[in-house]
Structure 1
Amino acid sequence: MPRRPRVLLPDIPLHIIQRGNNRSACFYSDDDYIFYIDNLTVLAEMHGCKVHALCLMTNHVHLLLTPACCAGAGLLMKGLGQRYVQYVNRKYQRTGTL
């Protein structure tokens, strides 16, 4: 049975959880957290999302944000994921997903 379509409405807060593949670690040093937060800030502004709260754990992330348009949250998370995975793969000389 397929899951129900996600309901995305502008100006309605979303709780987003992003987890590491197989619940493995996503952050390995303090610099990784800083890089993630810096990119989150830039991309949130770029895609019209207000970040109200965030919680960065070693193997997952919780975000509370409000997108200005329906596509904003998806574009934010896509860009953030791409930038962060490329950063980690380059820094730790690895390949693949997180």
Structure 2
Amino acid sequence: MSRRPRVWFPGAIYHITSRGNRRSIIFNNQEDYDRYFSIIMETQNEFPFQLHAYCLMSNHLHLLLETKTTPIQEIMWTIQTTYANYFNKRYQVDGHVFQGRYGAKLIDSQKYFVDAGRYIHMNPLHAQIVEYPADYKYSSYQYYVNGNPPPFLNISKTISLFPGPKSYQFFIEKSSTTTI
């Protein structure tokens, strides 16, 4: 039975999730995280898209990604395949790095957009890795709080939905029980 194609249209926004095969580690160290970020930048150069939020955990990841003119399938195929090839070569292993097909929930409202961002940014706190979400260095939240986002991250759309960065920070941190 074939899979249903992903819903896509120019400007579609998705909450992307992907987990390591058998819940295995997909980011072992700083070099792995840095490589994933560089793959995101390379892919943005080839297929322009906006990345509004991210959180890379050791065995899974979350992206809040907005397409422009390229279907999500091409963007994610490029990112995931390039990273899997890097990972297998670096660690001299074969086989799947990621568990099945990545998840892609279509964001269909402004409320869902900001709720997905909060869920992504609170992930390290819920996993009890940090006491404060901006302390997790593989999450985009630190740039929402401290400024100076990397070139591959666009925080302006999210911030524009609030009176300012401090209002967004309050929105994120006021509830540590939000689920999507």
CA apart distance, 1:4:
6.4
Query: 2-side partners of 1:39 and 1:67: how far apart?
Result: 16
CA contact (8 A) 2:15 2:62 kept: yes
Other structure's SS at 2:50 match: strand
For residue 12 of structure 1, report the CA deviation from its aligned partner. 2.6
Within 1, Cα distance between the matches of 2:83 and 2:5?
27
Higher relative contact order (CA 8 A, sep 6+): 1
Deviations along 1:19-62, one digit per CA (max 9) or x if unpaired, are 11121111111100000001111102311211111100011110
Residues 13 and 65 of structure 1 are in contact (CA less than 8 Å); yes or no, is this contact kept in structure 2? yes
- Give the deviation of 1:79 after TM superposition: 1.0
Residue 63 of structure 1: aligned partner: 63
- Normalising by structure 2, report the TM-score: 0.49
After TM superposition, the runs of 4+ consecutive aligned structure 1 residues lying more than 4 A away are 2-5
Q: Give the AA of the match of 1:95.
A: D
Shift of the alpha carbon at 1:70?
Answer: 5.4
- Structure 2: which amino acid aligns with 1:82? T
TM-score normalised over the length of structure 1 = 0.86
Question: Is this contact kept in 2: 1:16–1:62, CA < 8 A?
Answer: yes
* Counterpart-to-counterpart distance in 2, 1:4 and 1:81: 19
How many pairs are equivalent? 96
Q: 1:80 to 1:5 in 2, by over 3 A?
A: closer
Question: What is the percent sequence identity of the aligned residues?
Answer: 36
Structure 1 vs Structure 2 CA RMSD: 1.8
Match of 2:152 in 1: none
- Alignment correspondent of 1:77: 76
Q: Which residue of 1 aligns with 2:37?
A: 37
* Higher share of residues assigned strand: 1
Show the counterpart of 1:46.
46
- Where does structure 2 lack aligned partners over 5 or more consecutive residues? 98-180
AA aligned opposite 1:90: K
Question: SS state of the match for residue 15, structure 1?
Answer: strand
Q: List gaps (5 residues or longer) in structure 1.
A: none
